[in-house]
Structure formats: C-alpha cells, structure tokens
Structure 1
C-alpha cells in the first residue's frame, strides 16, 4: 500500500486534482474492486459509489457480461480503423441501435472516444454545416453559465465554469455564455440568451449548446417549459440546437435521453459515459436529419475530422451489451423509481436539518443544497467549506459523493448506478442524514464562537 502511494505521487499526474495536495497527502483512496453500487479500496473498506464514479457507471461495477463481450470481440477483431470508408459490424449495429433509441429525427452517428471529443465534434460539425451552405461567418456557439461540456479546446471554451478557463485560458474564440434559469428564472434566462445572440449578431451564431440537466454545475434541473422556449428561440433565429447528453444519456434521468423530459428534439445530441457504463472509452454525436441531409448533399471531398478510435469495434461491442442490459433489466424505469425515493429521502433530511435548502432529483441524478438560512437562501461563507465537510463526513462513513462550490454554493451531488435498489437508497439516505447533522453540529459550535 505505501509503495503504491509513493509510486502514485511520483509518476501519476491526476486529472482535476490539486497536484500539491496529491504530493503532500497521497491518493485519497486506491480502488481495488467494484461490484454493483460498491467500490472496495486496497485496505478492504467498502464504499457506496454514489456518483457512479464520474456519472457514468450506469449498470454498476463488475458486470462480467461486458468483459465477455469485449473478450469475444477482441478475439475476432480487436481494432480496425473506420477512416476512408472502412467499417466494422459492431460499429454499424451500434449506430443503428443508438438511432433507434434517440428522438425520431436523430438518425446518424459520428463516434468519438469520450464526452469532450463528442462536444468538440458537434461544434466542428455545426460550423462545417454552415460553411458548406455559404454562411462561413456562422461560427459562434452560445452556451450557459455553469454548463460543463468537457476539457478539450472547444469544449473548454463552451464550458461556463470560469475555473476551467483559469488553467490555460479560453482555448478558442467565438463562444459566449448566457445566464441560467437557476440564477434568474426561465423568462429572464431566455431573454439573456436572446440578448447574447443579438449582441453577437444572429448572422454569426451557429448553434446553442446546453445540457438537459447541468451536472457538474450542481445538478441544475430546468423548469418545465424551458427547452420548448429554447427550441422556439433557436428556430426564430435559424440557429441549431445542440443537446449535451454526456451525463444525462442512457437512462440516468429516468428517460433514455434527458431531453425527452421536455418533449423537444435537438439538431445534434452528444453522448458518452453511460453508453458503455465506463467499461470502455466511447462517445459520439447523433446528427439530426436536417443536418445530415445537408452534409450528404453538400459536404464534398473528405471530412477532415475523426479520431483513431472512432467506431472502435471492441468499444461498440461493449456498448451494445451495455444497452442490452439497460433495456432487459428495466434500468431506465428503475432510475425513475429510485429517483423518486431519493427525493423523499432528501425531503426527510430537510425537515430535520436546518442547513438543507433546495433539494432536487430527476431520475438518479440529484442534489441537496446547504445554506445558512433556508428561508432566505443565505449562503455560507466559502471559508467554512461546508459542502467539502459533508463530502468528507460521507467518505468516512463509506459513501463517495461530490461537492459543487462554484459561485459560493454548497451543493452535494448524487448519481448512483441505475441498478440501485430501494433498500440501498434508504441506507444511503440514513448515512447522508448522519453526515449532514454531524456537520451542522460542528457549524453551530463554530458560528457561535464567531458571533
């Protein structure tokens, strides 16, 4: 164990991690095994993986069916390029399956290796779409503040969380961000988008990009008519609407795709994570008929975009088996039912704990906000690090979760595997209750001393 920690510190630069903290403290935990909703570390301690690792292990850990699907495919054809019109059966069948599951007007798939690549690909495709129609000035992408779309150049620029720009700056030009309904309400958010479009010049705007639910921003669930108004606004200005379903796709929200909750069809839909439940790196963009028809008619010559692993046969075989499990085990509906129970559990904690403010779920995607005064929604001072304290209290009690503290918020996010049972939800809620009440008691003592 000590050897692994030292090797980790010396050789492994972790993503989205404090390099200095890693060097000083070592790995927070070294995971050795996963089974169902649980992870076990190298010391034998078992944890509930309440985040599905990174919102992605939808069918749970340790599913041998996916290992077998990968083995069978690797033995037959582990990898073959799909450049220059080469193809393979698993990629073809996966593209067909995803088209069948997606909203009716989305029927063609471009494959990538993950979510960031998917959003970069969607951005390049919409710019290409306008360019081949003689409107090369339409390059700008409008997205939302607090939105997260990845860390590649285009995806970082589309992301509306400033901390992701601080590391290396805006990677690309031609991106602007409007305010969310979480900040200012539906009507004002729609107006904010309109104002950004007008300020940028409608004739220069290629598309609007948004997550159905802003995941990394704090599980921000939009109001009922929000995306219908977004669709109308995009149609009014003649711009494309791109839905980022990297987190919300493949059953996470209680629908196969999150945008289905709002009965709206985007022009492009990016996906990753849950398509393989993290068992293989794979993502893609589902292209709507309107865009695809233009590409087929006017995109002459080579489409100079693609990744080595676009349409990876082993990844496609794993994805097909993963989707089969999601469908056969009724995991989309299970996510809906367990999400309702999760919300009831949050409500019971809110009744008992004075520091719990807004609570929300959509399927097995949920959040609980911590505030100093729920009546006024007054937030805690960032120096108190309230959400990180709760995360640490949960970790000590065997639950892995995630805090969001952007814009001085204290949000605890949940996205457990879709295989979670009612009993497991109830057990997790009781652990959360203990952790929240323990932190509340600490805060009461600390705030009393400060006053």
Structure 2
C-alpha cells in the first residue's frame, strides 16, 4: 500500500485514543528496526519515545520475533484455565526478578487492567474500599484505573469508580510542601501521606498506589527515603502498597524493577510495556505470598479471556532471556549515567529555557520554563491549542530533523529504547540542542540564572 492509501484507510475507519478525530493527521509508519522507524516516504526517525515508552528491547529484535513465530506455529491460544508451558515459564521468570516473597503472577492484556486487578486484590485482601493515589500520575483508562489517575485525562471520565482519594507526591522542583532540599521533600511528603490516611480513616484504606518513578507526568524520581517511608506507613496501618511499574519496569530505570534501586518490596507490582516491549499485548500483577494466600480458598473475583495468552507469554520469556544474555539492564544504567545525564546537563548549561533535567536509566525529563527564577512553565498546565504553541513548535522542530520526541505539558522526555547506543543518544541530543532554540525564544527571565 502507498502512504496515501494507508492514511485514507486510517482517516476513514480508525478511531484514535485521546484525540479529537478531526484534528489529527497520524504519520503512516512502514517499518522499524532497533532505535529507528521509517515512514512510507523513506524518512527515518530516531525513536526517543520508545513509542509509548514501551519498546525497551528496540524495534524488531530478531530473536524476539523468532520466538513469537515459533510459538505461533505450535500453539496460538489456549484459555486461562489450562496450564501452559510459556505461561508458567513467564510467571516463574517474572517472579524470580521481583523482590522476595512476590511469587505469583496474574496476567492481563496491559497496564490499565493490571492496575484495575491490583486494586481488586487489595480490596479483597483487606476488606476495605479506599485507594490513595497521587495527583501527578497515570494508571490507565479503565474504570478504576482512570479514577486513580491524577492527571487531566481523568476529568472527562468522571464520575467513574468510587473510593479513590488523591494526595500530593514528592516533586522537589515544584514542591507542594515548600521544601528546600530533597530530604525535606521526602519527610514532608510522607507526613502529608500519613495525615491523609489518618483523616480518611486508616481502617477504610485498602491500598496506596504509586508509580515508583512517575512517568508521563514528569519522570519524578522519588527523593531519598520516600519509598521506604511509604512502605513503613502501609505496614503501620495494614495497607497494601501497590507499585505501578508499567512504565518504569524492565530496564527503563536501569533496574529490572525500579523499586530495586531503593531496596523496597511492595505488596503488589503492576507491569506491562517493557515486559515484552509491546510486541504483543501483555501486562500483569506480581503478587505477594500473603495476598495470594487470601485467595487460596476464596475465589478471586476477576478474569480475562486472554489472561496469560501463549503468544504474549512466549514473547515475555524470550525478552527476559535476551535482556539477561545481552546485558540490556546494565546497558540502560550505563547509558543513563555516562551519556544521557552529562548530555542533558550540557543542554541545561546552554539553554536558559531548561529549568531542570532529571531521571535515571533511559528515563529522563527536560523541564522547560519561561523564567528560571520564578520557574514559570514554558506553557501552562494542560495547555492546548494556541496556549501549547511553544511545545508544538519544539516537537515539530525535532521531527523535521528526524527525531521523534515524547512531549507532555512543558516537558520533553528522553526515553529511547534500553538498547540505544551512545552514538544514537548523542545524535538525538544534538537535535534537541537545536530544537531548544525554539523554547529559548520564549524565555522572558534574566539570562544566566542557574
């Protein structure tokens, strides 16, 4: 098919997510390989977004493609009530990667369903109904998951599920607690969480659900002591700690799971995206022994036709094996420490519109401002249309130079595949360097303020 034919079919028949259908013009993509994809005109793009921060292993990894083909020739599908070799092996491998005492896996088709079912497990385990989650968060678009979501995508879906309470998580650059240090931010954020639980009634709270490292809403790395503090508060009140690792897990943060960096073990971990890099739909919940025991004699009230789909599980098995044999997690950590971090620091030193850079592994954010002293964002919160103009211009400048960026609100996220090479990162940062001249034109503050 030609690009025109692909686009015509899309415009006539595909209904796109999160979009006003008449205002979008999706790029027709023909092929992809490694850190790049190509349109039908042969234009090449460096994928600095890993699509939706999920193609951790890179595009079209030959061993992963071969594993899917091999499984398809053997058994394409079998319903969840049967035992299956790839389903069981995927669950074993994922459990072995998780912190101690998380030994069972409930498979879903993606991250939203994973969070939906994790909340269901927490409520069933505790006999309580409330779930606490942060304002700057995204947990999926199904009923309870979108209610737990803290960003504006929740608004148009309300009212939906009941029993969700939002609180402020740590964000040192724009501290809701007026903190001056990372240590203060951690301490004050934990005090705020504890107060919220107390005033909501601890005996009514089933779970605290947080993204280990907040993804779409800012690449917010938790300050020292915060995750352990959440763990301690949950233990104090008998609350289930759910770590949403849908975006942060499987190498993205330079660890198998982001919680590993801080040595904290949640009660439930939700995953998707990087477990098989989106080659097939797959997500799940890793379950602690204590919560699994709750449902030993009592049926778990949930299920999915495609839970533990053999093709998807075969891709997860192959992906984990490839990650281990090729040292991809370690590579992601090295790229973050040795290439992305110093590269972004150099951009911050050159461009006044860069208010802060932050991140780890291959998971970074450039926060853009009009004034470093006041930290006024380059565009307003949840801006659209003309108000979002500077970010729209910046993204267009990147794409014109063959870089596909991830932009959200006033930020550019740097999230290439975990397999990205140092030279590819430098190529992308060079494009960003030129594109940031767009943001600098909107800078109104005093130049030279760090």
TM-score by length of 2: 0.91
Q: Distance in 1 between matches of 2:280 and 2:188?
A: 41
| Aligned counterpart for 1:147 among listed residues 137, 145, 152 | 137
Q: Which residue of 2 aligns with 1:427?
A: 427
CA separation in 1, counterparts of 2:235 and 2:279?
38
Using the TM superposition, give the Cα deviation of residue 6 of structure 1 relative to its aligned residue in structure 2, in angstroms.
2.4
Q: Which moved more, 1:331-340 or 1:371-380?
A: 371-380
Report the alpha carbon displacement of residue 237 of structure 1 after superposing the two structures with TM: 1.1
- Shift of residue 343, structure 1, vs aligned partner: 1.3
Q: Please give the per-residue CA displacement for 1:299-321, whole angstroms capped at 9, x wherever unaligned.
A: 43x43311111111111111111
Aligned counterparts of 1:366 and 1:373: Cα–Cα separation in 2: 21
Task: List 4+ stretches of structure 1 deviating above 6 A.
Answer: none
Tell me the equivalent position of 2:28.
30
Pair 192,67 (structure 1): closer, same or farther in 2 beyond 3 Å: same
> Is the Cα contact below 8 Å between 2:371 and 2:443 reproduced in 1?
no
Q: Match of 2:71?
A: 73
In structure 1, the residue matched to 2:384 is none
Residue correspondence of structure 1 range 218-237 to structure 2 within 5 A: 218-237=218-237
Cα distance between partner residues in 2 of 1:426 and 1:402: 17
Match of 1:10 in 2: 12
Residue 168 of structure 1 deviates from its aligned partner by 2.4
Q: How does 1:13-92 map to 2 (within 5 A)?
A: 13-22=15-24, 26-27=25-26, 29-83=27-81, 86-92=82-88
**Deviation for aligned residue 1:381:** 4.8
1:332 corresponds to 2:329:
yes
CA RMSD across the alignment: 1.6
2:297 matched to 1:308?
no
User: Are the equivalent residues in 2 in contact too, given 1:103–1:265 (CA < 8 A)?
Assistant: yes
Deviation at 1:378, TM superposition (A): 2.6
CA shift, 1:331, in A, is 0.7
Residue 372 of structure 1: SS of its match in structure 2?
strand
**Contiguous gaps of at least 5 residues in structure 2:** 177-184, 381-386
CA distance in 1, matches of 2:288, 2:359: 29
Unaligned residue ranges in structure 1 (runs of 5+): 131-135
- Are 1:380 and 2:378 an aligned pair? yes
Q: CA deviation at 1:32?
A: 0.8
Structure-to-structure mapping, 1:33-432, within 5 angstroms: 33-83=31-81, 86-130=82-126, 136=127, 138-161=128-151, 163-182=152-171, 183-184=175-176, 185-296=185-296, 299-300=297-298, 302-340=299-337, 341-382=339-380, 383=387, 385-405=389-409, 410-432=410-432
Deviation at 1:165, TM superposition (A): 2.0
The answer (yes or no) to whether the contact 2:99–2:265 under 8 Å persists in 1 is yes
Distance 1:385 1:221, change over 3 A: farther
Give SS of 1:90's match.
Answer: helix
CA–CA separation in structure 2 for the residues paired with 1:100 and 1:384: 44
**2:330 match: secondary structure:** helix
DSSP 3-state at the match of 2:370? coil
